[in-house]
Amino acid sequence: MKTVMEGSNAVAHAIRLCKPEVMAMFPITPSTHIPENLAQMVADGDLDAKLITVESEFSAMSATVGASATGVRAFTATSSQGLALMHEVVYAAAGMRLPIVTTIVNRALSAPINIWNDQQDTISERDSGWLQIYCETNQEAVDTMIQAYKIAEDKRVLLPVFVCMDGFILSHTYEPVDIPEQKDVDEFLPPYKPEHAFLDPDKPMTMGPFAYPKPYAAMRKELSKDVMKAKAVVKEVHDEFAKKFGRSYGNGIIEEYKNDRPIAIVAMGSVCGTIKEVVDKRDDVGLVRVRCYRPFPKEELAKALKDKENVIVFEKNVALGLNSGAMYPEIKDVLYSAGSKARVNNVIGGIGGIDVTKENVENFIERLKDKEGVVEFLGGDPNE
Amino acid sequence: MSEITKLNDPEKELIAPGHRSCAGCGAIIAIREMLRATGKNVVICEATGCMEVTTTPYPETSWKVPWIHVLFENAASVASGVREALDKKGRKDVTVIALGGDGGTVDIGFRAMSGAMERGHNILYICYDNEAYMNTGVQRSGATPFGASTTTSPAGKVSFGKSEWKKNVPMIAVAHGLKYVATASIAYPEDFQNKIKKALTFKGGKYIHVHAPCPVGWGFESSKTIKVAKAAVETGMWALYEVENGNFKLTMKPNRKPVKEYLTGQKRFKQLKDEQISEIQEHIDRTWKELEKLESSDVNLLSIL
């Protein structure tokens, strides 16, 4: 049954259904409603979890790591500066192979300080070893939360996952969502049983040791391979979810929308809803939505894009010093490796919460459809 | 005598030999003494530092108890998560210790330590204090004493070394409202272990700060570690006390020797002139006068918070 509720509240219900045992939380706009909702659930006895109200996001991720290393299902959520403050722990969590799930309510990074949406925060953690899944709707955020623990805890993965949802645009927006039944989630997501690494005096174990160059390099190499291998599990869990709950998101890795046309827009997150409306009104443009950004879906994107005349990569981040978005060179790499002749262009938009309208999308398609190698920045004109 | 023989049996220690600590390392002695007091039913959450690096060169470990290291500045936050997870699993019986050096506690890990203590998790924080960043090569920390020359507070033509006094973190720990806070020294193992055992009888956050000399960083012979630690206590440079339920008690009242006896013999203080030595002596005299007044008064430190 669908209920109209705020995105953060919907996600909090999804987290409750996953039965985390320890949650370490710190407030930051726009993710704050998630810890508020969870705290109320604990206060009302609707969620039997230990809530640690830490003194910083740095400690939020640190306590989450401690809990996960003790062998329980652990959760935290944050945005922007909070994620930047966690950065050091983010890398450690992946290196320690801990199956943590973290909701990121995407927001711009300072300076200047800005509380609104773009995706600079998670893009800046792209090389950390965490899986990153970007959601288009609140329903997808709910469903992806439930999938994320199953992916993270899979023995073939044992890696942490960021579930990314756009700040305000999703987190503070009321939409009809279907919150699954506890019984169904329990069948889909069994309790977490750590098998090889957890802190227990009955089985003493050293976690997080010091490594000399050779074992360090070996572990990083293995980690790099395993992050790539996780893609198959992301897809498998998505498909299993679709079968049980009747909802799917492309093939779980990318979503192709009317992608039988000469031009393709590549994008991530909530802006894809706007782009789909523009695509519906045209006959020359389709959309390829990247859902699973890390591991990066090279094969899927090559297949979806290699025969295009023009690929327009739309991104809510800026790779400063490269003068493009971070995904633009990645898409070029995919196309080059596939021997594609497609022209590639880049649009940086929605930065710091600037609205991306259907008119914006129409206009950049018109401007770029015959171009090659153009990088545009939507908004940001000081005279606007 | 038989008891001492038993304690020195390496097979019975919970920290195994073969670690890479320097000869005469005070910190590893602190850890050995700590584990004798905690026993096996414990999880250690340690900060980056000498003790983490030297005890866990992958694939080896000296720890016979569960141990986790994540980063330099988050031992207390990791311990918070471990504690709550153990409680959730019904393992309230397990002791959780957050362990950090002075850098990992009084400087970079200060926020995490303060947060964990304020939240009242049932954990014991132990700071082993060797009074500088030893793992990176003897840089000044907030716990480095006045007058000490370090690689970032070096003595030079116009400087005698560190010009600030040691940050008093045990008293800051008291200000968190903890039911048990103590200072200790590796030269008094029985006192240190008794304080750990006593701390563990209290629920909530507890804090112990143990003085652990470093032959390399302080500049003394590796055979003299315990002697130097003892001299710190005997001269009053390091006061041994406990604050139990807010009541302050000196646990060692030495007939204080001149501080010069402690300072000479350590290279880090060799540049000090009589002027600075007198300043340190006056500081100690003044501090002890106040500590003795505090002890004889009925001031309850928790009641003034």
pLDDT band at residue B162 using 50, 70 and 90 as cut-offs: very high
Model pLDDT, residue B305: 86
Which domains are seen in chain A, by residue range? 2-245 (3.40.50.970), 256-377 (3.40.50.920)
E strand intervals along chain B: 42-46, 67-69, 95-101, 124-129, 180-185, 206-211, 241-244, 247-250
Q: Are the C-beta atoms of B95 and B121 separated by less than 8 Å?
A: no
CATH number at residue B272: 3.40.50.970
- B104 falls within a domain: yes
Each residue of A129-155: pLDDT tens digit?
999 999 999 999 999 999 999 999 999
Model pLDDT, residue B12: 87
Q: Write out the DSSP string of A174-235.
A: EEEEEPPPHHHHHHHSPPP---S----TTS--EES-B--HHHHHHHHHHHHHHHHHHHHHHH
| ipTM surpasses 0.95 | yes
Decide if A52 and B86 are in contact by the 8 Å CB cutoff.
no
SS3 A170: coil
Each residue of A193-245: pLDDT tens digit?
998 879 999 999 999 999 999 999 999 999 999 999 999 999 999 999 999 99
Residue A246, chain B, CB below 8 Å: the answer is no
Whether B234 has a pLDDT exceeding 50, the answer reads yes
* Torsional class of A323: left (φ above 0), alpha (ψ -120 to 50), beta (otherwise): left
Decide if A210 and B58 are in contact by the 8 Å CB cutoff.
yes
What is the mean pLDDT of the segment spanning A273-289?
A: 98
Whether A384 has a pLDDT exceeding 90, the answer reads no
- B110 falls within a domain: yes
Decide if A206 and B80 are in contact by the 8 Å CB cutoff.
no
Model pLDDT, residue B2: 44
* Residue A2 burial (C-beta neighbours within 10 Å; 0-12, 13-18, 19+): exposed
- B3 falls within a domain: no
Model pLDDT, residue B6: 54
Decide if A66 and B80 are in contact by the 8 Å CB cutoff.
yes
- B262 falls within a domain: yes
Q: Are the C-beta atoms of A344 and A372 separated by less than 8 Å?
A: yes
Closest to A25 (Cα-Cα) out of A72, A76, A64, A59: A76
Nearest to A63 among B64, B80, B87 (CB): B80
Model pLDDT, residue A190: 98
Each residue of B99-145: pLDDT tens digit?
999 999 999 999 999 999 999 999 999 999 999 999 999 999 999 99
Model pLDDT, residue B9: 76
Model pLDDT, residue B49: 97
Distance in Å, alpha carbon of A95 to nearest chain B alpha carbon: 10
Whether A161 has a pLDDT exceeding 60, the answer reads yes
Q: Bigger pLDDT: A381 or B229? A: B229
pLDDT band at residue B25 using 50, 70 and 90 as cut-offs: very high
pLDDT band at residue A276 using 50, 70 and 90 as cut-offs: very high
Pairing label, strands A161-166, A310-315: unpaired
Tokens of B155: 């003595």
- B94 falls within a domain: yes
Decide if A70 and B89 are in contact by the 8 Å CB cutoff.
yes
- B2 falls within a domain: no
In sequence order, which residues have a C-beta less than 8 Å from that of residue A374 and are 6 or more positions away?
A345, A346, A367, A368
In sequence order, which residues have a C-beta less than 8 Å from that of residue B152 and are 6 or more positions away?
B139, B140
Q: What angle do CA A266, A267, A269 make, to 5 degrees?
A: 155
Q: What is the number of structural domains in chain B?
A: 1
Each residue of A44-63: pLDDT tens digit?
999 999 999 999 999 999 99
Whether B290 has a pLDDT exceeding 70, the answer reads yes
- B305 falls within a domain: no
Whether A314 has a pLDDT exceeding 60, the answer reads yes
Q: Are the C-beta atoms of A78 and A26 separated by less than 8 Å?
A: yes
Each residue of B254-270: pLDDT tens digit?
999 999 999 999 999 99
Residue A222, chain B, CB below 8 Å: the answer is no
B76 chain-A contacts, CB cut-off 8 A: 59
Q: Which domain holds residue B94?
A: 9-296
